[in-house]
Amino acid sequence: MSPQASSDQSVPAAESHECQCGHGGSAAPEEAGPPADLSFAGAVVDKAIEFMTSKKIDETAIASALLGGALGMLARNLADEAVIGVLQNAIASVQAGELHQSELHQEGGSHP
């Protein structure tokens, strides 16, 4: 989205530092928890997803765009081996069923 996008198409501001993907809220520095930047970034991404789904953008397209953007950012900031490590951790999480467990926790239901 360009910086000059009209106000009706801008991504809503993240009102809370607590995202839906389990990054948590803004904990005090002495408490265990994710860094504030991670929590804030997660909240902004959650709002962007909410905005795009409200515009009826295909969920697979949203996920693919976010994944592509994330990989590009990782590639600009990490060595290739570190990016591979991140991807291997993601694969291991999928194989272990952690993504569906996270989904259950958020929805409070059960997965088929």
Same structural domain, 28 and 72:
yes
Domain range for 97 is 79-112
Could you report the average pLDDT of every consecutive run of 10 residues in the chain (112 residues)? 42 46 44 80 96 97 96 96 96 92 58 45
- In angstroms, the CA 53 to CA 76 distance is 28
101 lies in the same domain as 60: no
Domain contains 3: no
pTM tops 0.75, yes or no: no
Whether residue 83 is found in the same domain as residue 93: yes
Give pLDDT, residue 26. 41
The rounded distance, in Å, linking the Cα atoms of 96 and 101 is 9
- Residue 5 in domain: no
Same structural domain for residues 58 and 87? no
Q: Is residue 9 part of a domain?
A: no
Number of domains in the chain: 2
pLDDT value for 70 = 95
Residue 108: the pLDDT is 54
pLDDT of 34 reads: 73
User: What was the pLDDT predicted at 111?
Assistant: 45
Q: Are residues 61 and 98 in the same domain?
A: no
